[in-house]
Amino acid sequence: GWSGLNSLSRPLSAIVLQRIITFHGTACVAGFSFGIQWISIIFIFMQGMRISISSLVGQFLGKGDIKGAEDTTKAGLQFGYAFVSVVSVVGIIFSGEAISVFTTDEAVIRAGQGYLIIIFMGMFFDVLMTVYSASFNGAGNTAPPTIAAFFANWVGKISFAMITTYVFHLGINWVWAGISLSMVIEGLGLAFWHKKGHWKHKKV
């Protein structure tokens, strides 16, 4: 049930976010579309890591090996940070060139470049999101990832983007900042919840 709610909430928030981006103009819509193509490549890797960690944590907890589950989580964090560090540096440096692959329109390139730079800056918190949500899922404790994602996406990302857009009339980079803010909220929220340790004692 919790997993189903999470799967429903994320795409709904993405629809609302797309409407907010559209308010800023077609160049921003195109920049977002092109930028997310590059980010999606990273998310494919992160999803693979999520599945691996979830499976291993479930196996270790299933046989009562709590240390094995903890070590899996730690290894996931280390590997994730190493990967994101390299990708983020390269991605920020070549953000303009990455968008230029799709278009020569300067307005679109500026919007897409801003998106990539700001998202890459928040990507370190996506490591926390990926690893800890995978650990929770492996333990069969799917409520924390769903609750954290709800607050991150609706209270953080959508609310922040709406206020900066419709109330303060700020530029598109503030919408991108709202996306990174959601990563920060979700990542730190899951890290805090994970350290409580209740997931270690779920029956698997």
One-character DSSP codes across the chain:
-HHHHHHHHHHHHHHHHHHHHHHT-HHHHHHHHHHHHHHHHHHHHHHHHHHHHHHHHHHHHHTT-HHHHHHHHHHHHHHHHHHHHHHHHHHHHTHHHHHHTT---HHHHHHHHHHHHHHHHHHHHHHHHHHHHHHHHHTT--HHHHHHHHIIIIIIIIHHHHIIIIIS---HHHHHHHHHHHHHHHHHHHHHHHHH-GGGGS--
Q: What does the pLDDT average to over 118-136?
A: 95
* pLDDT given at position 201: 78
pLDDT tens-digit series, residues 162-195 = 999 999 999 999 999 999 999 999 999 999 999 9
Are the C-beta atoms of residues 176 and 162 closer than 8 Å to each other? Answer: no
Residue 204 pLDDT level (bands cut at 50, 70, 90)? low
* pLDDT given at position 151: 94
pLDDT tens-digit series, residues 3-42 = 777 777 888 999 999 999 999 999 999 999 999 999 998 8
Residue 100 pLDDT level (bands cut at 50, 70, 90)? very high
Q: What does the pLDDT average to over 108-119?
A: 98
pLDDT tens-digit series, residues 51-82 = 999 999 999 999 999 999 999 999 999 999 99
* pLDDT given at position 12: 93
* pLDDT given at position 15: 95
* pTM of the complete model: 0.92
Residue 91 pLDDT level (bands cut at 50, 70, 90)? very high
* pLDDT given at position 2: 72
Q: Is the pLDDT of residue 150 over 80?
A: yes
- Round to whole Å and give the CA distance between 98 and 35: 8
Q: What does the pLDDT average to over 80-103?
A: 96
